[in-house]
Chains A and B, each alone.
Chain A
Amino acid sequence: MTPSAFSTFAALLKSRSGLVIGPDKTYLLETRLAPILKREKLNDLTALAERLTKPGADNLARDVVEAMTTNESFFFRDDKPFTHFRTQALPRLLANRPANAAIRIWSAAASSGQEAYSLAMILADAKAQLAGRTVEIIGTDIARDQLNRAREGLYTQFEVQRGLPVQMLVKHFRKEDSNWRLSDTIRSMVRFKEFNLLSDPRTLGRFDVVFCRNVLIYFDPPTKARVLDGIAAQMPADGALYLGGAETVLGITGRFAPLQGERGVYGLTPARAAA
């Protein structure tokens, strides 16, 4: 691939999704974009980059962004954030809110839906605790094909064995040929929506809990700050933000601070919360 072709991909990904790639990630372009090269009958990435610079390439550009931003997802990934949500954040929110107030949760890089559905399963199991309260879970992603997969709620045998306790499998899934389908009850608890994290989150409304895990690592610091500040502006004082294990707010924004003793869980800083 020529340096100019690489620059075309890097600029496209940065402007459309915030994804920052360096020349060391050429292999990622090669592996992720190979299906597009085949489909478009193009010889190499340089030819694809040339095609992207021509008029009428908007759909192709979208496909390239989707292919590069699709991230793997699995149920109850890393376990601890979900345990914290179930045992700390949720009880606190239920105690703080009037009985008729809805609780809103955002899975901000929903991919194929496992994170949002993990939260839905926790809430389904906490039905008595919720006492009829409305809980909304919104799963967003930039990739439409992943969102369609998420809405289907159909997972392979491999996927349902990554992180999902067998008791949950038995309770919430049924087998369909060699795959496993989530129950209508769980699927109906989550609404999936196309959303670019670079866009204004005010269009999504306010959220008590935000899971934004393993996506900020791909952004440069100013983009991270922009996304985090956007989330902060949509969150009440007692809200909770969950980031991935390799992510932090430190040095990026002063609007969030780590919750004491909790790795990967953040609350609004007191100054911000009081504002």
Chain B
Amino acid sequence: MTRTCLVVDDSRVVRKVARRILEAHGFAVAEAEDGQKALDACRLGLPDCVLLDWNMPVMDGITFLHHLRQEFGPEKPPVVFCTTENDLSHIELAIAAGAQEYIMKPFDDEILSGKLSQVGL
């Protein structure tokens, strides 16, 4: 069965780059431009994983993650943060909130596919 990934990022360019990589690895990709839209999408149906930006309008990534874990439990879907926030305190915060992996932008195919493989996809 095709695996699904929800790409949450307010940058159209980042979403496009991520989509291209993910589709090349056999994922079906859905997009959301902020945390609220991502949460709405998850309520309609959970993806197999979420690629999540931190800084976004309306609802940021960490707030989305808190809601996601509260509503759907601590593990699924696996969440990989993908953000320009690259200091240890942000990474620790993300893990504490329930993110399974963390990508510091910029990223490429190798990093993204490697991180998805690390979360079991």
Q: Which positions in A face B, CB cutoff 8 Å? A: 79, 157-158, 161-163, 165-167, 169-170, 174-175, 178
Q: Cβ of B74 < 8 Å from any Cβ of A?
A: no
In the assembled complex, 13 residue pairs joining A and B whose CB atoms fall closer than 8 Å, in A order, are A157-B86, A158-B111, A161-B104, A161-B107, A161-B115, A162-B110, A162-B111, A162-B114, A165-B101, A166-B102, A167-B95, A174-B88, A178-B86
Q: Cβ of B11 < 8 Å from any Cβ of A?
A: no
Q: Cβ of B103 < 8 Å from any Cβ of A?
A: yes
Given the complex, which residues of B lie within 8 Å of A167, measured CB to CB? Answer: 95
Known: A161-B115, A162-B110. A170 touches B92 (CB 8 A): yes
How many B residues are at the interface, by size bracket?
10 to 19
Known: A157-B86, A174-B88, A175-B88. A166 touches B114 (CB 8 A): no
Q: Cβ of B118 < 8 Å from any Cβ of A?
A: yes
Query: A167 vs B92: C-alpha distance in the bound complex, in angstroms?
Result: 9
Given the complex, which residues of A lie within 8 Å of B118, measured CB to CB? Answer: 165
CB proximity to A under 8 Å, residues B74-113: 86-88, 91-92, 95, 101-104, 107, 110-111
Closest 9 CB pairs of A and B: A166-B102, A161-B111, A166-B101, A157-B104, A175-B88, A165-B118, A170-B91, A170-B92, A175-B87
With A161-B107, A169-B102 known, 17 other A-B pairs at CB within 8 A are: A79-B117, A157-B86, A157-B104, A161-B103, A161-B104, A161-B115, A162-B110, A165-B101, A165-B118, A166-B91, A167-B95, A169-B91, A170-B88, A170-B92, A174-B88, A175-B86, A175-B88
Query: A178 vs B87: C-alpha distance in the bound complex, in angstroms?
Result: 9
Known: A157-B104, A165-B118, A175-B87. A170 touches B111 (CB 8 A): no
Which partner residue on chain A sits nearest B110 by CB separation? A162
Query: A245 vs B102: C-alpha distance in the bound complex, in angstroms?
Result: 27
Query: A165 vs B118: C-alpha distance in the bound complex, in angstroms?
Result: 7
Query: A76 vs B121: C-alpha distance in the bound complex, in angstroms?
Result: 17
Given the complex, which residues of A lie within 8 Å of B103, measured CB to CB? Answer: 161
Given the complex, which residues of B lie within 8 Å of A174, measured CB to CB? Answer: 88
Given the complex, which residues of B lie within 8 Å of A165, measured CB to CB? Answer: 101, 118
Query: A116 vs B118: C-alpha distance in the bound complex, in angstroms?
Result: 20
Query: A161 vs B95: C-alpha distance in the bound complex, in angstroms?
Result: 16
